[in-house]
Amino acid sequence: MNFVDRVRIYAKAGSGGDGMVSFHREKFVPKGGPDGGDGGRGGNVVAIADPHLNTLLHFRYKRHFAAGNGAPGGPNRRSGKRGRDVVLRVPPGTVIRDAESGQVLAELIEAGQREIILHGGAGGRGNAAFATPTNRAPRTAEQGKPGHECWLELELKLLADVGLVGFPNVGKSTLLATISAAKPKIADYPFTTLVPNLGMVQLDFERSFVVADIPGIIEGASTGKGLGTEFLRHIERTGVLVFLLDPHMLPPVEAYAILERELVRHNPLLANKRRIICISKADTLDQTQRAELSLLEFPNYGKPLFVSSATRESIGELLELIWSALSGAAQNEAGDVNASPAQNTTATVRLGATAAERRRT
C-alpha cells in the first residue's frame, strides 16, 4: 500500500552561532578596540506544499530532520553565516501538529504555500556589541540560542470537492472510473478500495471538480470496525457528499441512516454538508423494484436519483446536480446563509474563488 496519510517525525531547528571575543590588531593602530562579530542564526524547519505529492509515504523512510546551526562570529565585526533551513515537502492538505501538545503548527492548503514550523535559535552577540564609553574593552560574548525541536505529527486530508460515501461494494469506484480518468481497483468483493482515490471530473471547458472515492463504511465504523475512521477525515474538507445506496444490500432508508450516523459520530460538522442521494446499480432493478423505490422520500433531500455506471443512466444529471450543489456551497460561504442544504440552484460563480476557504473548514 503506497498511500500514507499520517506519519510522526522528529524535527530540530538549528542553534545560533556563538558571538566572538576579538580585539582589532593592525599596525600603527594601537588599542584598536573590540571587534568580535555576532553568531549566525540557526536554520528553520520549513514546510512547503508540493502539488506533485499526494501521500506522506516518503516520511516513512526518513523520520529525523535537522536544520543547520549558525556559524560563530568572526573578527573585524564579521557575523557568522546563517544556518541552512531544512525543508519538509508535503502534499497540499497536510496538517502539522506538535505531537505532544496537539497544537496545530501549520495547515498547508494551497500549492506552493510555505510555512515556518520551527524557528532557529538566535545567534549570540560578539564583544563588539558590549562596548560602552565606560567599558571599552569587554571580554564577554553571548552563546547562541538553541533551536526549537520536537516530534511532529503530519496528517493528510485530501483536497476534494465531492466525497463518494457508501457501504463496501456499492459501486463507488466504478462510478469514479466512469466520470473521470481515475483507475481505481474494481472487484466483486467487499473492501476492494483500501485507500482513497481521487478523480478530476471535467464538465466543460470552465467547469471541473475533484471527486474522492472513500473506502467503504460499515456500521460501527466510528468505533473502529472495518476500516474504522482511518479514512473518514478525507471527506471533512469536501463541499458535497454523494451517498450511493445499493437496494440489494439493505433498504435504502436504513442504509442511509446508518451511514449518516457513522459520519456524524466521526465529526458532527459533517451533518452540515450538502448531499445527493443515489440508488446505485439501477440497471439491476426490475420495474417492480423501481416503482417501489421511486416512492421513497428522504427528509430534506427528496427522492433519490437512480444511477448506473454500467449503462451511464442519469450520470449526466448527477454531475449537473453535483455542480449545482457545489455552487450553492460556494454561495453559502460568500454569505448566503439562508440557503437550505437541500437547495440545488445553479450559480454563475467559479468554484475556484472559494475553494481554498471551503477546504479550510
pLDDT in tens, 161-172: 888 888 888 888
User: CB neighbours of 284 closer than 8 A, spacing ≥ 6?
Assistant: 248
For the stretch 35-83, pLDDT in tens is: 999 999 999 999 999 988 878 888 988 999 999 999 999 999 999 999 9
d(CA 323, CA 329): 10
**Residue closest to 58 by CA, chosen among 66, 50, 69, 70:** 50
Q: What is the pLDDT of residue 98?
A: 94
State the Cα angle at 160 between 157 and 164, rounded to 5°: 100
For the stretch 191-239, pLDDT in tens is: 444 567 778 888 887 788 888 887 767 655 444 444 445 667 777 778 8
Strand 240-245, strand 162-165: pairing: parallel
- At the fourth CATH level, the homologous superfamily of domain 162-359 is P-loop containing nucleotide triphosphate hydrolases (3.40.50.300)
Domain(s) labelled CATH 2.70.210.12 in the chain stretch across: 1-156
- At the fourth CATH level, the homologous superfamily of domain 1-156 is GTP1/OBG domain (2.70.210.12)
Q: What is the pLDDT of residue 317?
A: 92
pTM (two decimals)? 0.67
User: CB neighbours of 6 closer than 8 A, spacing ≥ 6?
Assistant: 56, 153, 154, 155, 156
Strand partners, 108: 94
Count the Cβ atoms, other than its own, within 10 Å of residue 267: 15
Domain(s) labelled CATH 3.40.50.300 in the chain stretch across: 162-359
d(CA 153, CA 97): 5
> Average pLDDT of 332-340?
43
